[in-house]
Amino acid sequence: MTTSIGILGTGSYLPKEEITNEEIARRVPGITAEWIGRRTLITGRRYAAPDEATSDLARHAATAALDDAGVTADRIDHLIVATSTGDAPLPPTSSLVQNALGAHRAAAFDINIACAGFIYALDVARALVAQRPGSLALVIGADLYSRFLDYGDRGTAVLLGDAAGAAVVGAVPEPYGILDVELAGRGDAHELIWIEGGGSRVPASAETVAHGGHHLRMIGRGVADFVMANVPPMIGPLLERTGTTLDEVAHFVPHQANGVLLGELVERCGLTGARTHTPLVKYGNMGAASVPVALDEAARAHLLGDGELLLLAGFGAGMAAGLCLLRWSA
């Protein structure tokens, strides 16, 4: 039997604290809960507890994915964490997750390409597993944005929440698994989403903290324009290489950026015939966790049929975008 590379199990973790639109409206001047819902379709989001960091969220999601796949942590060969909100500049968050899980034989590393990170990490995992037949990879998307919010900036504060999602990647029988991946980078648009302080160009200082340099900033209209201009054209080449057609795509699992934006994106991509999964209604924009959380929720609700085609899409800071077309195995 010939094999390909696919997803063996999924998992996710959402912190316990639920933050409603009413609560956000009390924190952000000049808006209402109704305004948030109308502009984003988000009704709530989760915030990590004070003693939780990104690695903690990632560990919980990874444990759920390992359990779903029936795999123990000591069998993992590669552990990849996609995050832009790591526990600290050093060590890599993946090293902390590896140690917490007991995945001591795994090569562990981080990928920072923000909200496209899970798709990029999935493609790296696919390549690594293909190079070493029989190996397994654990791919985690995790972000904890509540520590980086400026409640004076309604464009970001209303959108973001904390979460982690994970997938175990390994060999699956054909025709299942990942058919192909399409990645794109637009570094010339890097100024659309940023955190100014805390790096080598603008090191953390009392001044950067006083001026909000550690807060996430975003030019919302520019981001929306980037998504509409760059994501739809990526679909055609991906479908052509895999010998599939748009009407064969049964499920669309996108980054949970903004509900209104996703509605426009579905129309622009011609994906109205697919089922679009949008847990952002409950959880908001979860950064690199968005795609794996949406995938895990759909899988656990038994919404994904055996042999159905799924299109995963991530896009965000960098600017970057990624698509993954896979045939689901139930």
Query: Which residues are designated catalytic?
Result: 115, 255, 285
Rg, the chain, Cα only: 19
For residue 84, the Cα-to-chain-centroid distance in whole angstroms is 11
Element (H, E) at 182: strand 177-185
Query: Could you identify the residue written with the tokens 């960091």?
Result: 53
Contact, 251 vs 188, CB < 8 A?
no
Contact, 190 vs 201, CB < 8 A?
no
Query: Could you identify the residue written with the tokens 């760059």?
Result: 230
Contact, 175 vs 181, CB < 8 A?
no
Residue 49's φ and ψ, nearest 5 degrees, are -70, 160
**How far apart, in Å, are the Cα atoms of 138 and each of 68, 130, 167?**
12, 14, 6
Nearest in space to 323 (alpha carbons), one of 123, 84, 111:
123
Beta strands in 83-176 (DSSP E): 107-111, 137-144, 162-173
Specify burial of residue 133 (Cβ count, 10 A radius: 0-12, 13-18, 19+).
exposed
Residues in Cβ contact with 144 at an 8 Å cutoff, skipping those fewer than 6 apart: 48, 52, 53, 54, 57, 85, 162
In total, the chain counts a number of residues equal to 330
What is the C-alpha to C-alpha distance for residues 56 and 84, in angstroms, rounded to an integer? 15
